[in-house]
Structures are given as C-alpha cells and as structure tokens.
Structure 1
Amino acid sequence: MEEIKDGAIHQTAVKLAEEIKNLSIYKSFYTDIQKLVSSPNVNKEDLKQTLQQAMKEKGLDIKLKNTVFHWVRTQSKHNKSDPITLLTKAGAQWEKRIHKSLNSMCTDLETSLAKIRSQSELEELLEKWNELSTYNLGKIAKVAKNLTKYRPVYAPKDFLEVLLTLSGYVPYTKEDEPKWEFAHLPLQTKTLEQLRKIYTEWACGEPLLGVNPGMPSSMPGFVSLEAERIALGERVAALGYAPVTQEFLKKGSPQCLRAKLWTQVLGAETSSQHATYFNQLKKCVLEVDLMIDKLVFKDVQLTASNDDQYFVFEDLLYQVMLCFSRDSEVLDQLAGHIGAAVTVPVRGRHGDVTTFPPSGVIPFHGFTMYVCVSLATPFCYLYSDPVQLYCTFRAFYVRYWHHLHYISTHPQGIVSLCLLYERLLEANEPLLWIHFRNINVNPIRVVFKWLMRAFSGHLPPDQLLLLWDAILGYDRLEILPLLAVAILSFRKENIFQVNTPQNVDAVLADLSTIPVIPLLQLALMKS
C-alpha cells in the first residue's frame, strides 16, 4: 500500500513539474532559482538544505507553494466532467444562437465581425485610450457605427428561457419530487444542513465582519472586531501564503486589505510580464476592430455609466473589457468549460483570420458589472492600475464567473445553483413557495438575474464585497442561491401582500438596505 501511495505521489510530482514549465511564472521563477544557486547563500556541499533555506529568506518558497495551491485548484476544477452529455448539446445550440444573432446584427448594420482599423482610427483610439468614455461621443462617433443600433446579444432573462427548456434534452423526473422547474435533472445539490457543515464559521455564530461595525473584539488589546481583523489581516498579507489568505477571508476582509488579499488567493499578483502582456492585448485592440467592441461600449453605457457608484471609472472599464475580449489565454484555460469560439476572416487583411472573440467570451447585458465590483470605493484606489485590475478580474472570471452563464452540470454551475435555490426555498420557506405557485409566479424568475450576475449591480458595493469575500474564502458559489432565499425570507411579508409578477419584482427591486452577512448567518443558524 505504501509503495502504491509513494508511486502516486511521485507521478503527481512529475506531472506538477511539467505543468509548472507551461505556466507564465516559470521563466522568472527559474531565473530567480538560478541566481540563488550561484549565490554565496547556497553551499554545494549541502545543496538541498541551504537552497531551501535561501528560498525561504527570499520568499521563493511561498511563491512555489502558492503556485502548487493554484495548480491543485485548477486540477480540481477541470476534473469535474459533465455526466449529462445532452446538456452539452443544449449548450452548443445556445452558442450557435448567439453567433447567429451576431451575424444577423452585422448584416443589418452592414459591418464585419472583424476588420483592420484604418491608420486614422488607430491613432484616434490610441490618443483617447485613457479617456475612452469620450471615444464614441466626438469625431470618432463614426467608428461606433451609430451605437444606438447595437443591442446586447442576450440578457439574463434570455438565458433563463433556454435553461427552462432543458427538460427537452434530459427527460428525467422523480415521481416522489415536487415538479420544480429543474427537478428533472439528476443533479446532486446540498441541503441546508450540509451547507451548515461547509460554512461552519457562519453556522456556529462566530463573529464576522459585516454584522456590526462596532462589534467588540473577543481578544484583549483590540477595541473592536475590525481592529482585530486588520491586525491579523496584515500578518496574513505579509505571509503571502494563499491557503492561509483563503482561510482568513471566510470571516471577511477589512476594506484596507481586500485588494492585497484577493490578489493573493486568486494568484493575480502582477509583474512586468503582466504589464507587457496587457500592452500586447491593447495593441490587438488598436489594430483590429471587433464587432464585440460595440457590445462592450453598449454594455458599459447601459450599466456602469448609469450607476452613481461606478460611472467615474468608465475609462478603466473600457480598457479592461476591450483587452479581455482579445485574451486568448482565457479561451485556453477554459477549454472544455465554455463553448468553442468561431474563426472569422479579418476584413482588410487578405487571407487573415481570427478567433471571434479571441477570449471566447461574448458579453451579455450586465457583464460589465463583474468588473465594477473591483472598482468599489475605496477599493478602486488600490486597483486604479488597469493591469492589476485586469489580472484580478480575469482570475475571478476563470475561477468563478464563467460558471454563471454557460450550460453545464458542474456543481458550481448556474443549472446546479438554480436547482439548489428551488430546493432550499421549497424546503425552508414552504409557504412562500406555495404563494409563488398560487399566483403563477415561477420562483426562479424572481432571482435569476441576481444569480447570473453574482448580485453585481444589485447589492451596494460594500455588501457585495463582503459576499465575494465569502466566495473566495470558501471557494464556492452556493452562497448565491442561499442569499437569494434569505432575501426572499426577509421580504416575505411584503411578498405575501402582492399577487402579480410585476409587484413581486417591485418588492425586490431595491436591495440597498439588505444586510448580507446577518441574513446569511441567520439562514445558516436557523433550525
């Protein structure tokens, strides 16, 4: 048995060593090790021990451990395969609809999916790069090709309509289950009791940031819980070890440390290589005009530009979103988890073709709000550098957000989250469930836009950041449907008073007074 175990460890180590060679960190890390080996700190007679000690002194041991941590998380994500292959077919058909809609829009507007920018357009765009909010408002308006005629390819409600037809792909129903919209899918979801075992700190009533700003500390020497968490968080940030940072985030992050802690747990720390890569993406934006650029401008204008919290960061949003659309590494990292991108000709360059879009991600209405959270005050001052903001957003998207708008049976995917929401609501708020059925309101329609956008654009920034702390800390998205049920429970007396979909939406339209952490803690502690 020990031989088998040792063999498995050896094979994993060999695989890990090969995988690290393909990571962006490898070149600089290898260079650092070479310098260290040739330094006086390393003794050739005792190479292993002195090298390990030297790595600790230079912080390279933490860098290596974090690399292994992020690699293991990636392996865990990719090893979860779809048990229902028919859902893959549904996803492929949905993606074909999206591309058909894009082609139809291009035909109507007499434009191309991809074309070379003229020299004058390139120069104008470069000149306006740091003030892109004016890009389609002045002389350059002709480039936008009358932006008012462009429309989002799809919105959350369109995606929900597709999900609600999945019964046509998976004809499965358990006789002893209520006829939930997603009950025909043979997916395993957590019960509330199982969620309590995952979110132990919350279910046990441990002190969390976000409950009471003046909550006293249980440790001597601190006037408040926040002061205690800042002191501990500074030590965690200085250590820089991602698993420890992840554990710390379970109880919430102080605002002053959040940017540093998020980048650590996501593995999104930047270097000169990241700045170079970002500039390469920028160059791609300047050279080739993608039809998707207009969708980015449209989405920013329809969402962030109209939000008092985010409109001042409009220029940063454009930079991040335009560069993200050109990032082919996103498509490579999510191969098999998002749809295959199409290849299209580049007009103006004979024989040239490009993947459309290179990232493989076509934004839906509200996609920009994923980025906006990283700009929430005072967080924005720490992420005012577009390179750091970009790397953090991309890491969040690759790890989490792609699950929310692609069809799969992944336990953190949107289909599983919808089913979890329905089962939690029926089991824990049966009267509310019955009320929805009596007034002919589908319960998932009430909250789907919250789930698909991870509550971005719905909750105030300070509450949303606390919610996303929990997503990072527990490395799970089940907190989203749990919060959706908690909000309905919080507003149920008002919901009982209305009997139309419009009035239900009105009751739930304003979430500005929702205390996220107390509601979630109450939901997990309630017997």
Structure 2
Amino acid sequence: ARQYAKQGVPTALRAGIWRCALGLRPSGAIAGESAHFRWLLSEGQRIDLITDDLFEMDVQFIADDDRYFVFEDMLRDCVGAFSRDAQVLRGSDVLPHQPLVGHHGEGQAPGTAVPPCGVQPFRGFCNYLAPLCFLYHDAPTCYGVARALWCRFWCRLNAVRGRPGTLLPLCKLFEDLVLQGAPDAFARLVALGVSPLSIVMPWIQFGFVGFLEPDQILLLWDRIIGFQSLHLLPVLAASIIMFRSHNILKVSQLYESKSIILLLLCSGGSRGSNR
C-alpha cells in the first residue's frame, strides 16, 4: 500500500489504501475501534477538563473555513476523543512537549496527564483532521486514521528539537534548498525585512492545510504516507518560492507588506489563506 501511495492514490481507493498503509483495516473501523471511540467520548462527557474549551475554540476556528464547516460535528467528536486518548501519549513517535501531570478528580488516578493524550491544545490542531473528513464518513474510522497520522508524522511537526524529521531540521532543509535554488529571491525577501521561513512555516507545520485546496492536500499526503517522510513538505515549500522567484524579485518597495508577497506567491494557485 505504501509503495502504491508514492505515485498518488485514486480518489475512490484512497480511504482504504491509507488505512492499510497505516496498519489499520482497510474496510473501516473494527468493532474494537468503534467501542474505544465511544468510550473516549463518554470519558469526555463524564469529566470536564480545562483544555476542553481550548480544543473547542480550534474546532470553531476551522469551522469558519467554507471548505470544512460541514464537518464541524465530526471534527468535534474526533478532537474530543483525541484529547482523552492515552494511546496517543504512549504511541507518538516523539512528544511535542512533556505532558502536564495532574489529578482529574474523582474516578481518575493521580499522576495522569492532562489531557490524557499528552498534547496541549494549540491553534491549528484541527488542520490535521479536517482533510480526512473528505475520505471517511463515520467518526470512528476517521479518528483511527487521524490518530495514526499524528503518532507517526504530525507529532514531529510540533516538536522543537534537533532530531531528524522534526520541525527545526525540516525548516533548515527549506532554507538550504532556497539558498541553492533561488538565492536572489531569498536575499530580496531578507532585504525587505521578511524572513522566507516566516512565510512557509505554517505550510510546513500544518501539512499545507490552509494553503492548498483539499484535493491537493490529499495528493500531497499520499506521498507522505507512501514515502514515510515529512521531507516532502520543505521540498514543496522551497519549490513554490523558487517557482515564484520572478514575482518576488519585482517587489522593490520596503513598504510592501508580507501579505502582498504572499499574494504574489499564491497568484495563479490556491485561494487558501496562510494560517
């Protein structure tokens, strides 16, 4: 399945191929997955956590996007289940931060991470789930894929350290590629007081959600799953800068803002905003 995904997966086959490549049953959530998902939701209803409102704010934020607002209820359920899932903490390839340990209250053991997933809510978390709603129409199946992607890939994009495949080395790869391929454009941006990395950091960190259209995002994620690598993100970001280098070189006035430069980069491409 991973070898097949390297070339891009047809829309009709993508849902099953992704689950197979991630070690899940291709046809959908098994009874155990569905039961576990329902239990996670019941835990969320049983005990309120201080982080719940912050996760809800992120759901509301992406629900304002006209591409994803129809999935608000499914996103809310998946995010709620994620926040209560201790398997996320145990299964993540790398921890973005040390989990905060506390006591939930009655019925919860002291020393349990808050939230149990070990991930503190942050703006943009729902970006990792929203495109999946185009593939999976029931929440347990969608959640299983979302958790697998987080534990294998997305957790690395929120870990600030020098380990290969995490955010800092990926950002360095982007800068190295642009300095080699479009040094004049890089220098022009710096001269204008705009760090090239400040433009593309959200693209890399959130897998281009918010910049590319959903169908393009899914094609990109095909390759990430197929190659089992996040290096495609800085490579694509650098390619966009290089492709639009002639636009960047036309920006000559210091008062021209970063938003104008973003419009030049996006012209002729996605209408998506840079989150």
Cα 1:436–1:351 change in 2 (3 A) is closer
- Give secondary structure in 2 for the equivalent of 1:320: helix
Counterpart position of 1:447: 200
1:514 paired with 2:237, answer no
Work out which of the residue numbers 309, 313, 325 in structure 1 matches 2:67.
Answer: 309
In 2, Cα distance between the equivalents of 1:503 and 1:472?
Answer: 36
Mapped pair 1:250 → 2:6: yes
CA distance, structure 1, for counterparts of residue 210 and residue 173 of structure 2: 22
Query: Which of 359, 374, 378 is 2:132 aligned to?
Result: 374
User: Are the structure 2 counterparts of residues 506 and 306 from structure 1 closer, same or farther at C-alpha, using a change threshold of 3 Å?
Assistant: farther
- After TM superposition, give the deviation of residue 448 of structure 1 in Å: 0.7
- The 3-state SS of whatever aligns with 2:20 is helix
The CA distance in 1 between the partners of 2:66 and 2:108, in whole Å, is 46
Task: Compute the displacement of 1:513 (Å).
Answer: 4.6
Alignment CA distance shift 1:296-1:502 (3 Å): farther
Match of 1:297 in 2: 56
Query: 2:188·2:249 contact (CA, 8 Å) conserved in 1?
Result: yes
When normalised by structure 2's length, the TM-score is 0.89
- SS of the residue corresponding to residue 508 of structure 1 reads helix
What letter corresponds to residue 417 of structure 1 in structure 2?
A: L
3-state SS of 1:290 partner = coil
Report the alpha carbon displacement of residue 352 of structure 1 after superposing the two structures with TM.
5.4
Please tell me whether the aligned partners of residues 330 and 360 of structure 1 are also in contact (alpha carbons under 8 angstroms).
Answer: yes
Asked if the contact 2:184–2:249 (Cα under 8 Å) also holds between the matched residues in 1, the reply is no
Q: Tell me, yes or no, if the aligned pair for 2:93 and 2:155 is still in contact at 8 Å.
A: no
Unaligned runs of 5+ in 1: 1-244, 516-527
Question: Does structure 1 residue 363 correspond to structure 2 residue 114?
Answer: no
Asked if residue 399 in structure 1 is aligned to residue 138 in structure 2, the reply is no
Aligned residues with identical type, % of pairs: 33
Contact 1:441–1:501 (8 Å) recurs in 2 = no
- Determine whether 1:427 maps to 2:180: yes
- Partners of 1:246 and 1:472 within 8 A in 2: yes
Greater Rg by CA: 1
Paired with 1:419 and 1:351, the residues of 2 have a C-alpha distance of: 42
Q: CA deviation at 1:502?
A: 6.1
Change (3 A) 1:511 1:292: farther
Residue in 1 aligned with 2:273? none
Whether contact under 8 Å (1:487, 1:514) holds in the other structure is: no
Of the candidates 17, 20, 24, which is equivalent to residue 264 of structure 1? Answer: 20
How many angstroms does 1:350 deviate by?
A: 8.5
| SS of match in other structure, 1:291 | coil
Which residue of structure 2 lines up, in the alignment, with residue 116 of structure 1?
Answer: none
- Distance in 1 (alpha carbons) for counterparts of 2:94 and 2:230: 20
Secondary structure of the corresponding residue to residue 276 of structure 1: helix
For residues 57-112 of structure 1, give each alpha carbon's deviation from its aligned partner in whole angstroms, at most 9, with x where no partner exists: xxxxxxxxxxxxxxxxxxxxxxxxxxxxxxxxxxxxxxxxxxxxxxxxxxxxxxxx
User: Aligned equivalents of 1:502 and 1:350: distance in 2?
Assistant: 57
Cα gap change, 1:297/1:417 in structure 2, threshold over 3 Å: closer, same or farther? same
Q: Residues 272 and 411 from structure 1, CA distance in 2 versus in 1: closer, same or farther, beyond 3 angstroms?
A: same
Q: Distance in 1 between matches of 2:68 and 2:107?
A: 41
How much does 1:411 deviate? 1.7
Contact 1:495 1:504 (8 Å CA) reproduced:
no
1:413 counterpart residue number: 166
Q: How many pairs align?
A: 264
1:334 aligns with 2:92: yes
Deviation at 1:309, TM superposition (A): 1.1
- Seen in structure 2, the aligned counterparts of structure 1 residues 253 and 357 have a Cα distance that, compared at 3 Å, is same
- Aligned match for 2:257, one of 500, 503, 521: 503
CA displacement at 1:483 relative to structure 2: 0.8
Q: How does 1:381-392 map to 2 (within 5 A)?
A: 383-392=136-145
CA contact (8 A) 1:327 1:358 kept: yes
CA contact (8 A) 1:296 1:363 kept: yes
Give the deviation of 1:492 after TM superposition.
Answer: 2.0
Answer whether contact 1:341 1:355 (CA < 8 A) is retained.
yes
Structure 2 distance, partners of 1:512, 1:441, is 18
Q: Call closer, same or farther: CA 1:351–1:413 in 2, change over 3 Å.
A: closer
Give the conservation status (yes or no) of the 8 Å contact 2:43–2:84: yes
Instruction: Flag as ranges the 4+ runs of structure 1 deviating above 4 A.
Output: 499-502, 509-513
Matches within 5 A, 1:44-83: none
The aligned residue for residue 38 of structure 2 is 279
- Residue of structure 1 equivalent to 2:237: 484
1:102-156 CA distances to partner (integer Å, 9 max, x unpaired)? xxxxxxxxxxxxxxxxxxxxxxxxxxxxxxxxxxxxxxxxxxxxxxxxxxxxxxx
Structure 1 residues 292-301 or 337-346, which shifts more?
337-346
Q: Does the Cα contact within 8 Å between 2:94 and 2:159 map onto a contact in 1?
A: no
Q: How far apart, CA to CA, are the structure 2 residues paired with 1:501 and 1:480?
A: 30
Contact 2:5 2:225 in 1 (8 A): yes
Give me the whole-angstrom Cα distance separating, in 2, the residues matched to 1:255 and 1:368: 22
State the Cα distance separating 1:355 from its structure 2 match.
1.8
Query: Aligned partners of 2:118, 2:256: CA distance in 1, in Å?
Result: 35
Kindly provide the CA deviation profile for residues 292-311 of structure 1, in whole angstroms up to 9, marking residues without a partner as x.
Answer: 11111111111x21111110
CA distance 1:501–1:372, shift in 2 (3 Å): farther
- 1:62 aligns to what? none
Instruction: Measure, in 1, the Cα distance between the counterparts of 2:17 and 2:107.
Output: 47
**For 1:14-34, what per-residue CA distance to the aligned partner results, in whole angstroms no more than 9, with x for missing partners?**
xxxxxxxxxxxxxxxxxxxxx
Q: How many angstroms apart in 2 are the aligned matches of 1:480 and 1:472?
A: 12
Amino acid at match of 2:55: V
Cα 1:396–1:336, aligned 2, differ >3 Å: closer, same or farther?
closer
Secondary structure class of the residue paired with 2:102: strand
